[in-house]
């Protein structure tokens, strides 16, 4: 573990000692909206606040978007802090990667193996992005649970899994014997970026004793625009600019509260253009009598119909143009994928930009998606860290996103995690000492 001086300072503050930290001059660039009137009404200007940690996810923010000149607030945070192009975990989908970011283990081990899957231990049930039954989520512990247990208050302004009563037993949604972040919100896409930011700022307006010290914030609009028009669309460029304004609003709100913050801004994956001209139609080489398709798109999860294993394998397995298919136990080791019982027996992965489906599409389409090889450049995710813990102007080599949870543990003062798939080593050059 890399020991951070700020942890000691934060502890000193909690113990009632004088706190020598001066917050950095983080003021937003012109596009940021001002903090709401009355924002500082309850705040003593003399109060020296300990840094908080805010984990921000901009869903689908492909790392090179940062170079488009459309996100001045993010660019300034990157220049004044640490940045990198981050490798997602496989599969490069939203729910598997958000759960990796807060647990530090790969999807194969934390059990959120796709956005949609089944589990032989729960016959007749299917995990979807709205599944909040605790049993889907309990193979790895999210950092807000670890933090709450250590007495560190947490608050999540959306994050996949944050609405789950983590660790609760039984098939229901029972919150009484499970743990949530201290404050959390049921996911609702219609809550505006502004409202999301203002909720975080409002939580930080509380008196010190009940103020969260670890928070999350989630934005979906860049991913949505990427699916609609692909990564080079005007819609994506508008979404980049719009989410950057929300980041500006966050910076302004923190500055008004005189609240130092270590911001860890990440994406879950990148985005690549898709088209009905780049289709892999399974029924051109498979017999529909041999298989069922659990999931299609950038990858396909496939089961043999009873007694049809050999027939399916003969047609399916191996490499063909733009497609590889494996038995789950033979997926190349670098994907770290295939041991979890929730993964179907056969798995196919398309080349980036190609789409797998059983039949040809009914009408032409063009858009964007993700879920491909996590080492493909098109899947590279944004990473920026900025705040009192970080040195300015550090550009790190690409690293795997299993390192983010260990980083967060350092920032909030938790001991190193046991049995995680990543460590904080990639950030050795980034920390102020
Ligand atoms: P994907 O299909 O991998 O692109 O998933 C991205 C979508 O996940 C976004 O459009 C979000 O609206 C949705 N999403 C993000 N967080 C949540 C959540 N906590 N609950 C339900 N859906 C979510
Ligand atoms: Zn996503
Ligand atoms: Zn998406």
Question: For residue 207, how far is its CA from the centre of ligand 1 (angstroms)?
Answer: 33
- For residue 178, what is the domain's CATH number? 3.40.720.10
d(CA 316, CA 283): 11
Position 1 confidence tier, pLDDT thresholds 50, 70, 90: low
Is 70 exceeded by the pLDDT of residue 29? no
Using one digit for the tens of pLDDT, what is the confidence trace for 42-86?
Answer: 555 557 999 999 999 999 999 999 999 999 999 999 999 999 999
141 or 14: which carries more pLDDT confidence? 141
Q: Looking at 46-50, 188-192, 382-386, 411-415, which range is the least confident one? A: 46-50
Cα-based distances in Å from 172 to 134, 136, 168, 176, 206: 8, 11, 9, 11, 33
Q: What is the pLDDT of residue 46?
A: 56
Using an 8 Å Cβ cutoff, are 65 and 235 in contact?
A: no
d(CA 40, CA 46): 12
Q: Is residue 2 part of a domain?
A: no
Q: What is the pLDDT of residue 24?
A: 32
d(CA 117, CA 110): 13
Average pLDDT over residues 333-337: 98
Question: For residue 95, how far is its CA from the centre of ligand 3 (angstroms)?
Answer: 10
Nearest one of 198, 188, 248 to 220, comparing CA atoms? 188
Domain with 320 in it: 277-364
Using one digit for the tens of pLDDT, what is the confidence trace for 232-257?
Answer: 999 999 999 999 999 999 999 999 99
What torsion do the CA atoms of 161, 1, 210, 25 make, to the nearest 10 degrees? -100
Task: Please indicate, yes or no, whether residues 175 and 281 belong to a single structural domain of this protein.
Answer: no
Nearest one of 386, 420, 427 to 405, comparing CA atoms? 420
Is 70 exceeded by the pLDDT of residue 40? no
Using an 8 Å Cβ cutoff, are 271 and 369 in contact?
A: yes
**What residue's CA is closest to ligand 1, atom 11?**
220
Q: What is the pLDDT of residue 31?
A: 35
Q: Is residue 1 part of a domain?
A: no
List the structure tokens of 362. 């009914």
**What residue's CA is closest to ligand 1, atom 16?**
160
Q: Looking at 28-37, 115-124, 190-199, 403-412, which range is the least confident one? A: 28-37
Q: What is the pLDDT of residue 47?
A: 77
Q: Is residue 192 part of a domain?
A: yes
- % of the chain residues with pLDDT over 90: 87
Task: Please indicate, yes or no, whether residues 245 and 323 belong to a single structural domain of this protein.
Answer: no
Question: For residue 8, how far is its CA from the centre of ligand 2 (angstroms)?
Answer: 35
Q: Looking at 38-52, 104-118, 362-376, which range is the least confident one? A: 38-52
Task: Please indicate, yes or no, whether residues 170 and 298 belong to a single structural domain of this protein.
Answer: no
Position 3 confidence tier, pLDDT thresholds 50, 70, 90: low
Q: Is residue 69 part of a domain?
A: yes
> Which of helix, strand or coil describes residue 238?
helix
Q: Is residue 46 part of a domain?
A: yes
Rg (CA), the chain: 22
Task: Please indicate, yes or no, whether residues 261 and 138 belong to a single structural domain of this protein.
Answer: yes
Looking at 205-275, which runs of residues are DSSP E strands?
Answer: 214-219, 261-266, 272-275
Nearest one of 175, 281, 202, 274 to 233, comparing CA atoms? 274
Q: Looking at 161-175, 251-265, 338-352, 373-387, which range is the least confident one? A: 161-175
> Which of helix, strand or coil describes residue 72?
helix
- Whole-model pTM over 0.85: yes
Is 70 exceeded by the pLDDT of residue 33? no
**What residue's CA is closest to ligand 1, atom 8?**
94
Which residues are annotated as catalytic? 94
Q: Is residue 432 part of a domain?
A: no
**Domain end residue (candidates: 364, 394, 411):** 364
Task: Please indicate, yes or no, whether residues 387 and 320 belong to a single structural domain of this protein.
Answer: no
How many separate domains does the chain show? 2
Task: Please indicate, yes or no, whether residues 157 and 285 belong to a single structural domain of this protein.
Answer: no
- For 411, the enclosing helix (H) or strand (E) is helix 404-412
Task: Please indicate, yes or no, whether residues 26 and 111 belong to a single structural domain of this protein.
Answer: yes
Q: Is residue 3 part of a domain?
A: no
Q: Measuring from each residue's beta carbon to the nearest atom of ligand 1, which residues come in under 6 Å?
A: 59, 93-94, 115, 129-130, 158, 160, 187, 189, 220, 223-224
Give the number of the atom of ligand 1 that is nearest the alpha carbon of residue 93.
3
Question: Token match 């250590």: residue?
Answer: 150
Please give the mean pLDDT across all residues of the chain: 91
**Domain end residue (candidates: 321, 341, 364):** 364
Task: Please indicate, yes or no, whether residues 418 and 351 belong to a single structural domain of this protein.
Answer: no
- % of the chain residues with pLDDT over 70: 88
Q: What is the pLDDT of residue 177?
A: 85
Is 50 exceeded by the pLDDT of residue 357? yes
Position 36 confidence tier, pLDDT thresholds 50, 70, 90: very low
Task: Please indicate, yes or no, whether residues 385 and 348 belong to a single structural domain of this protein.
Answer: no
Using one digit for the tens of pLDDT, what is the confidence trace for 8-20?
Answer: 334 333 332 222 2
Task: Please indicate, yes or no, whether residues 215 and 297 belong to a single structural domain of this protein.
Answer: no
Question: For residue 163, how far is its CA from the centre of ligand 3 (angstroms)?
Answer: 20
Q: What is the pLDDT of residue 5?
A: 47
- For residue 302, what is the domain's CATH number? 3.30.1360.180
Question: For residue 225, how far is its CA from the centre of ligand 1 (angstroms)?
Answer: 13
Burial readout 377-389 (b: 16 or more C-beta within 10 A, e: otherwise): ebbbbbbbbbbbb
Task: Please indicate, yes or no, whether residues 230 and 126 belong to a single structural domain of this protein.
Answer: yes
Q: Is residue 50 part of a domain?
A: yes
Please give the angle made by the CA atoms of 138, 133 and 143, to the nearest 5 degrees: 40
Position 35 confidence tier, pLDDT thresholds 50, 70, 90: very low
Using one digit for the tens of pLDDT, what is the confidence trace for 159-217?
Answer: 999 999 999 986 655 657 899 999 999 999 999 999 999 999 999 999 999 999 999 99
Which ligand neighbours the alpha carbon of 269 most closely? 2
Give the number of the atom of ligand 1 that is nearest the alpha carbon of residue 163.
19
Task: Please indicate, yes or no, whether residues 79 and 200 belong to a single structural domain of this protein.
Answer: yes
């Amino acid at each position: 573990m890399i020991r951070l001086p700020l942890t000691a300072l934060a502890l000193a503050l909690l113990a009632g000692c004088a706190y020598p930290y001066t917050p950095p001059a983080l003021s937003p660039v012109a596009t940021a909206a001002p903090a709401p009137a009355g924002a500082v009404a309850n705040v003593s200007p003399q109060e020296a606040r300990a840094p908080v940690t805010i984990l921000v996810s901009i869903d689908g923010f492909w790392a090179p978007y940062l170079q488009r000149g459309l996100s001045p607030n993010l660019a300034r945070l990157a220049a004044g802090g640490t940045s990198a192009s981050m490798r997602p975990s496989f599969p490069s989908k939203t729910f598997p990667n958000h759960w990796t970011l807060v647990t530090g283990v790969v999807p194969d081990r934390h059990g959120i193996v796709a956005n949609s899957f089944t589990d032989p231990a729960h016959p007749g049930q299917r995990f979807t992005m709205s599944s909040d039954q605790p049993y889907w989520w309990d193979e790895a512990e999210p950092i807000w649970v670890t933090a709450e247990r250590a007495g560190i208050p947490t608050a999540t302004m959306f994050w996949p899994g944050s609405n789950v009563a983590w660790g609760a037993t039984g098939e229901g949604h029972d919150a009484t014997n499970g743990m949530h972040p201290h404050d959390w919100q049921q996911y609702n896409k219609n809550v505006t970026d502004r409202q999301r930011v203002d909720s975080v700022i409002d939580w930080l307006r509380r008196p010190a004793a009940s103020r969260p010290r670890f928070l999350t914030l989630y934005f979906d609009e860049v991913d949505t625009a990427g699916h609609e028009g692909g990564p080079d669309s005007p819609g994506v460029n508008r979404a980049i600019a719009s989410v950057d304004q929300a980041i500006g609003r966050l910076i302004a709100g923190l500055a008004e509260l005189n609240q130092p913050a270590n911001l860890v801004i990440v994406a879950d994956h990148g985005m690549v253009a898709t088209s009905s001209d780049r289709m892999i139609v399974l029924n051109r080489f498979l017999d529909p009598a041999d298989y069922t398709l659990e999931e299609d798109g950038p990858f396909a999860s496939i089961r043999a119909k009873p007694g049809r294993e050999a027939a399916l394998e003969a047609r399916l397995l191996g490499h063909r143009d733009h497609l590889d298919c494996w038995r789950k136990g033979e997926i190349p080791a670098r994907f770290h994928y295939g041991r979890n019982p929730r993964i179907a027996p056969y798995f196919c992965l398309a080349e980036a930009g190609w789409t797998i489906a059983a039949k040809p599409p009914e009408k032409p389409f063009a858009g964007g998606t993700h879920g491909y090889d996590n080492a493909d450049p098109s899947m590279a995710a944004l990473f920026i860290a900025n705040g009192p813990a970080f040195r300015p102007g550090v550009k790190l080599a690409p690293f795997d996103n299993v390192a983010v949870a260990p980083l967060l543990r350092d920032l909030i003062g938790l001991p190193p995690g046991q049995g995680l798939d990543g460590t904080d080593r990639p950030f050795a050059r980034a920390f102020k000492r």
